[in-house]
Chains A and B, each alone.
Chain A
Amino acid sequence: MIDNRIDYYPTHEHEGIKFRRGHTLPFGATMVANGVNFSVYSSSATSCTLVLFDRGADQPFAEIPFPDEFRIGNVYSMIVFELDYERLEYGYRMDGPFNPAAGHRFNSSVILSDPYAKVISGRDTWLAKPNWDNVYPYRSRLAFEDFDWEHDHPLETPVEDLVIYEMHVRGFTQHPSSKVKNPGTFSAIRAKIPYLKELGINCIELLPIYEFDEWENSRQSPTTGETLVNYWGYSTVNFFSPKAGYAATGKFGMQVDELKTLIKELHKNGIEVMLDVVFNHTAEGDHRGPTISFRGIDNKTYYMLTPEGYYFNFSGTGNTLNCNNPVVRNMVLDCLRYWASEYHIDGFRFDLAAILGRAQDGSPLSNPPLLESLAYDPILAKCKLVAEAWDAGGLYQVGSFPAYGRWAEWNGKYRDNVRKFLKSDPGEVGGMIQRIMGSPDLYHQRGPTASINFITCHDGFSLYDLFAYNEKHNEANGENNNDGANDNNSWNCGWEGETDDPKINFLRHKQIKNALAILMVSQGIPMVLMGDEVGRTQKGNNNTYCQDNELNWFDWSQLDTNADLYNFARNMINFRRQHPVLRSPTHFQYWDSVGSGYPDISFHGTKAWNCDRSPSSRSFAFLLCGDHAKQGIVKDSMVYVAMNMYWNGLHFELPALPPEKKWYLFANTDMPSPADICENGKESLLDNQHEFLVGARSVVVLIGK
């Protein structure tokens, strides 16, 4: 037994605390027999001191300087004996030059978090008022790895079969209408798994859950007087630690267990977990920001610096993580491997991922080592990797993100094309045909699974607001409505904001259904924003990063008030799940490779086999032949979808089916609920098998069987 070996015996003592030289790897704090191994890297520190606290204590109980002989290369390591694993909080003081022009900002008066800490305490309960005089506000702790996963394993769902649901942990259940025990927590998501299953999604993508500080930049709203907070959480304090304030058990330091319990339960229900990860910047901001960890441990290594020693700001948030520095690159790799292996995470979506392809001087690299390392990593080999393929510094790589056969992208062009088409802009049909097919114009070599199709996400209007507001209304953010995007491609359907006009409200609901239908019949991977299935509104705010209130919370009473939307969304999502022809792993070929008599995909219009792609066209239809489903491996029905965004109804001639098959109606957004859609398998036979009147601004889905 390891406890009986004599490797681990104390050789040194400092004020009664026994220690010895440690292991240089792994970085971070690791439990060893009867002690803890601490290891930390700094390229330029002149000395390092380990600082130890008892849980919550104002002052440390010990500060142990690393003896010079404990430093190997630039790594300080030691094993300290007889520490209480449960109660220990630790940090470092780093001594070194303060010379910003040379990239150094050492300050030994500050106690620093460990970049490799696995748990951070200090913000244990969401918005619990912190002690602002705390000498060490974000405290590194140890994580236990004794969780019993039983037979759990990442699900490895084929990527083309995913339906992603973008969710904010707190926003999903914080609204009182959620009626769960611990609103706003991982535990509460677990209570809502039956809802997610019924909706039909099979992957949740969580907005950042790495430890962040909701109090960062907190202030009062000028319009409501409410406290504005860092709600979204795109501002990492530590990359390895789950956000304690998202766990009901965070106050006991058990957020690791609670999150793992959630993931295990989601997996049992066939739902994958993808994390939105922020490796482009940290919570330390620019030169005026707080020193929490990286800046004090090794500023020059962790950040991209201008020649004068200031911070490059490609993230729009003050600093830029120096991802293609080999040390930082390894930290990112270590971090993702840890989440994949220790938390069974199924995939990652990289915020402002274009930054990960920039060199240390900020210039874009043609073969970025970090992206290549991630793509070929043995532990991440089955994880989904998704890039937000742009950054705030003007690098836009949708369609050209270095993919190495692995990376998918948030398809910003899909969003823009579909939005313009839905509001009847001219000249969108040609683009829509590409989007429906999984954007072969962008991803010819990479296949449709490179395209994460979305119309809305956390950043921008919700789907309801897309059809209720022409302009953003961000006054509550306190920035004079100057924040947030202006190119929303939205249309308010005739009135700005809420209205009692039943015609406008009917049209808005119809547009939401049109959007959901288009999203679910497009090749590629659909992503639905939390709450869009029930018409969640942000009251026209398209940048709700700071709003911890009803602007962001999922209002569960809308399941009743907007039951027609939920019913439509649920059936439409399940339609996609039922029909493999909608989920091709490869691009369509435009020809009949299986001898069915039909090409895999064909385009139509008011005349069958005749699609009007001219600039004035606002409608088209397409037919998928079920014999080609999944490259002809499985059999499916014929699926025909007609989209008419013209302001009058149009008669669409239906393409002829093989004699043994008939056309059945699955969905028609022009009809009031419940006639707008049916349960899968209960499609109704069409009286007229040759023609269908598609209403103004409507989508019709038929199946041939």
Chain B
Amino acid sequence: MSFQIVAEAKKIAKITLVGEVDSLSAREFQKEIEKLAAESPDELILFVENLSFISSAGLRVLIFAKQKMGTGLAIYIVKPQESVLETLEKTGLLHSVNVVDQYL
């Protein structure tokens, strides 16, 4: 598997994505989101410092997260690499998420 998920289903949900999220691993990502959705978190924190590529399927999971948990959900993307940030920017997803350098 090309990435790992560490999930803590409190009010703040944290997921770490590592490596590449392609269309296959995006399915697992989506399953984790579905699990977290049951807990209705207020914030979803994605640690992506070591994520080098995210496919369209992976990006669609972010949209799915909003659909599943409501538009009130704040999504934080922590330390994205340039290529990931650019893809978010070009496809218009950047306005739906908060990009931050660190999350304490």
| Interface positions of A (Cβ within 8 A of B) | 55, 84, 86-87, 144, 146-148, 150, 181-182, 187, 247-249, 252-254, 257-258, 260-261, 264
0 or 1 for each of B60-99: is its CB under 8 Å from A? (1 = yes): 1001101100000000000000000011011111011000
Tell me which residues across on chain B come within 8 A of A254, comparing CB atoms: 56, 59, 87, 90-91
| Residue contacts A-B, CB under 8 angstroms, 26 given | A55-B23, A84-B23, A86-B23, A86-B56, A86-B57, A146-B60, A146-B63, A146-B64, A146-B67, A148-B92, A148-B95, A187-B89, A187-B90, A247-B90, A248-B90, A249-B91, A252-B56, A252-B87, A254-B56, A254-B90, A257-B56, A257-B59, A258-B90, A258-B91, A261-B91, A261-B92
Closest to A188 in B: B90
Closest to B92 in A: A261
A257 and B67 within 8 A (CB): no
Tell me which residues across on chain B come within 8 A of A150, comparing CB atoms: 95
Q: Across the A-B interface, give the 4 residue pairs with the lowest CB-CB distance, nearest first.
A: A261-B92, A257-B91, A86-B57, A86-B23
Tell me which residues across on chain B come within 8 A of A87, comparing CB atoms: 23
Closest to A252 in B: B56
Complex CA–CA separation, A257 to B92 (angstroms): 7
- Beyond known contacts A257-B56, A257-B59, A257-B91: 11 more, CB 8 A cutoff: A84-B23, A86-B55, A86-B60, A87-B23, A181-B86, A249-B87, A249-B90, A253-B56, A258-B92, A261-B90, A261-B92
| Interface positions of B (Cβ within 8 A of A) | 23, 26, 55-57, 59-60, 63-64, 66-67, 86-87, 89-93, 95-96
Interface of A is mostly: loop
Closest to B63 in A: A146
Which of B87, B91, B93, B95 has its CB near the most chain A CB atoms (within 10 A)? B91
A148 and B63 within 8 A (CB): yes
Complex CA–CA separation, A257 to B62 (angstroms): 14
Tell me which residues across on chain B come within 8 A of A187, comparing CB atoms: 89-90
Complex CA–CA separation, A474 to B90 (angstroms): 37
A182 and B90 within 8 A (CB): yes
Tell me which residues across on chain A come within 8 A of B60, comparing CB atoms: 86, 144, 146
Complex CA–CA separation, A253 to B23 (angstroms): 12
Closest to B94 in A: A261
Tell me which residues across on chain B come within 8 A of A249, comparing CB atoms: 56, 87, 90-91
Q: From residue A244, how far is it (CB to closest CB) to chain B in Å? A: 12
Closest to B59 in A: A254
Tell me which residues across on chain B come within 8 A of A148, comparing CB atoms: 63, 66, 92, 95-96
Complex CA–CA separation, A181 to B83 (angstroms): 12
Tell me which residues across on chain A come within 8 A of B91, comparing CB atoms: 249, 254, 257-258, 261
Tell me which residues across on chain A come within 8 A of B57, comparing CB atoms: 86
B92 and A260 within 8 A (CB): yes
Q: From residue B27, how far is it (CB to closest CB) to chain A in Å? A: 8
Closest to A185 in B: B90
Complex CA–CA separation, A182 to B83 (angstroms): 12
Tell me which residues across on chain A come within 8 A of B89, comparing CB atoms: 187
Complex CA–CA separation, A146 to B96 (angstroms): 13
Tell me which residues across on chain B come within 8 A of A260, comparing CB atoms: 92
Complex CA–CA separation, A254 to B55 (angstroms): 9
Complex CA–CA separation, A187 to B89 (angstroms): 9
